[in-house]
Amino acid sequence: MTKIKARLLIVDDDTDILLAAKMFLRQHIEIIHTEKDPNNIPDLLKTENYDVILLDMNFSRDATSGKEGFHWLNVIMAADPAATVIFITGYGDIELAVQGIKQGASNFILKPWENKKLLATIEASIKMRESKLEILNLKSAQKVLISNQDDKYNKLIGSSPAMKKILAIAMKVARTDANVLILGENGTGKEVIARAIHRASKRSGNVFINVDLGAITESLFESELFGYKKGAFTDAKEDRAGRFEVASKGTIFLDEIGNLSQPLQSKLLSVLQSRKVIRLGSNKEIPIDVRLICATNMPLTKMVSENKFRQDLLYRINTVEITVPPLRERTEDIQALSEHYLNIYCKKYKIPKKRISSGTLKRLEMHDWPGNIRELQHSVERAVILSESNILEPHDFFIVREKNDDAGFAPGNMNLEEVEKMLIRKVVDKHGGNISRASKELGLTRASLYRRIEKYGI
């Protein structure tokens, strides 16, 4: 007979009970420890991890109240939150046993016990212990993943007046459960702000679920967000929770909410109003407890006036509204953002630390960044990979468009040096930083072009 691979501790002041339990259980359980004095429990827990602990409710100095058992239960749970404790009582006091379960015990057995029932109770408790450990491990892994993600790519970076204002609003709203709507162009960091709100909220220990509504087709909307029962449709081979269920107790971030069709807006509004979801193929309502944050780059107020977005849904999602300015309107933050991504990608690609020259920084600040922070991030990553120097120069960033540069090159009232500087910059950018080709088009030697690049900080 194969023994169960588990560690069992039996604590009882009756040596006959200890002996009888050990003689029977050692046929089924791999490791069994017995202890007569409960005062030794703390030391035992420091040296061993027990899968199940059988604990007497009443020791000799307090034969009926169960107070000693409750005391030692609290000691055990404090030392090991995943501990699985089975109370042993000889008095059949059901109320006392139920009170023990409410305080953290997994089950109870009565003296004298039936061996089969004792073994079945222990086996069930071992499985319970495994489930507890699995849940704790998943939570720990989730916290590590969230922490790593936040540390790398999701820091709210910026000291510009606009970002200080946004941060102040975000921290105020984070303390509440108010719904938040974040508006802004693509790539401005709307998700980063949503994560910052979640991190600073009372829900920070629970999940942050990101749903890109723009990437979910109309036919998959309900199954993805609300879940489904086995057999609800052809490929539904098992029950599955939707995003709202998974996010319960945490935060759900609905990105690109402006892309929803009106029928889907109605379905979403119904869930937000009732705070309940019904899985496809089921009639059962499932309560949800989520913090809602939405984001879009679309003008929802204008869409309401054009009957493209439901006004009642807009009222529901924008208790607090945050508008994120584009990067071209917060150029003060470009240096901090650039250095942040520079550190990330040097570490990621195991490249010696690089820095951005002052001339390059000025050049980055002159670019209008149509792709906003996301474009800057990718530009820094590309420069880190392709540059052979420890100092990143303008030609390492393939930037060709500057603020108000849509009309092309117009000297206006600029002096000769300013005209020369702009011309050199445009030609260097045109050739993707290739100095040989740029110098040839400008009619200069490579050395002359390098001197001018250094002179103008290009």
Q: Please tell me whether residues 242 and 305 are part of one structural domain.
A: yes
End residue of a domain, out of 133, 167, 194: 133
In a domain, 58, yes or no: yes
**Are 437 and 431 a contacting pair, CB within 8 Å?**
yes
Q: Please tell me whether residues 172 and 285 are part of one structural domain.
A: yes
- CATH of residue 187's domain is 3.40.50.300
Q: Is 201 helix (H, G, I), strand (E, B) or coil?
A: coil
Q: Which residue has the higher pLDDT, 320 or 444?
A: 320
Residue 31, classified by CB atoms within 10 Å of its CB into exposed (0-12), middle (13-18) or buried (19+), is: middle
Q: How far is CA 349 from CA 68, 212, 355, 357, 381, in A?
A: 59, 29, 15, 21, 10
Of 180, 183, 243, the closest CA to residue 209 belongs to 243
Give 145's pLDDT tier (boundaries 50, 70, 90). low
419: left (phi over 0), alpha (psi -120 to 50) or beta: alpha
Q: What is the C-alpha separation between 100 and 437, in angstroms, rounded?
A: 82
In a domain, 139, yes or no: no
Give 86's pLDDT tier (boundaries 50, 70, 90). very high
In a domain, 179, yes or no: yes
- pTM, two decimals, is 0.63
- CATH of residue 12's domain is 3.40.50.2300
Q: Please tell me whether residues 312 and 333 are part of one structural domain.
A: no
Q: Please tell me whether residues 260 and 296 are part of one structural domain.
A: yes
- CATH of residue 421's domain is 1.10.10.60
* Residues of the chain above pLDDT 90, percent: 61
Q: What is the C-alpha separation between 98 and 109, in angstroms, rounded?
A: 12
Give 422's pLDDT tier (boundaries 50, 70, 90). confident
Alpha helices in 175-282 (DSSP H): 190-199, 221-226, 243-246, 262-274
Buried b or exposed e, range 134-168, using 16+ CB within 10 angstroms = eeeeeeeeeeeebeeebeeebebebebebbeebbe
Q: Please tell me whether residues 241 and 363 are part of one structural domain.
A: no
Residue 153 pLDDT: 46
Q: Please tell me whether residues 116 and 39 are part of one structural domain.
A: yes
Q: Please tell me whether residues 85 and 187 are part of one structural domain.
A: no
In a domain, 452, yes or no: yes
Q: Please tell me whether residues 192 and 282 are part of one structural domain.
A: yes
Q: Please tell me whether residues 418 and 389 are part of one structural domain.
A: no
The number of distinct structural domains making up the chain is: 4
**Are 356 and 399 a contacting pair, CB within 8 Å?**
no
Residue 179 pLDDT: 97
Residue 43 pLDDT: 93
Give 167's pLDDT tier (boundaries 50, 70, 90). very high
Q: Is the pLDDT of residue 452 over 70?
A: yes
Q: Is the peptide bond before 112 cis (omega within 30 degrees of 0)?
A: yes
Amino acid found at 126: I
Q: Is the pLDDT of residue 225 over 70?
A: yes
In a domain, 153, yes or no: no
Q: Please tell me whether residues 193 and 307 are part of one structural domain.
A: yes
In a domain, 141, yes or no: no
Query: Which of 70-79, 255-264, 325-334 shows the lowest mean pLDDT across its residues?
Result: 70-79
Q: Is the pLDDT of residue 96 over 90?
A: no
Q: Is 235 helix (H, G, I), strand (E, B) or coil?
A: coil
Q: Is the pLDDT of residue 76 over 80?
A: yes
End residue of a domain, out of 79, 98, 133: 133
- CATH of residue 390's domain is 1.10.8.60
Domain that holds residue 346: 327-398
Q: Please tell me whether residues 347 and 213 are part of one structural domain.
A: no
In a domain, 275, yes or no: yes
Going edge to edge, which strands form the sheet with 52-56? 29-35, 4-11, 52-56, 85-89, 107-110
Give 408's pLDDT tier (boundaries 50, 70, 90). very low
Q: 432: Cβ–Cβ under 8 A, 6 or more apart, which residues?
A: 395, 398
Q: Which residue has the higher pLDDT, 178 or 101?
A: 178
Q: Is the pLDDT of residue 34 over 80?
A: yes
End residue of a domain, out of 308, 325, 342: 325
In a domain, 216, yes or no: yes
Q: Please tell me whether residues 287 and 187 are part of one structural domain.
A: yes
- Please write the tens of the pLDDT for every residue from 385-400: 999 899 999 888 876 4
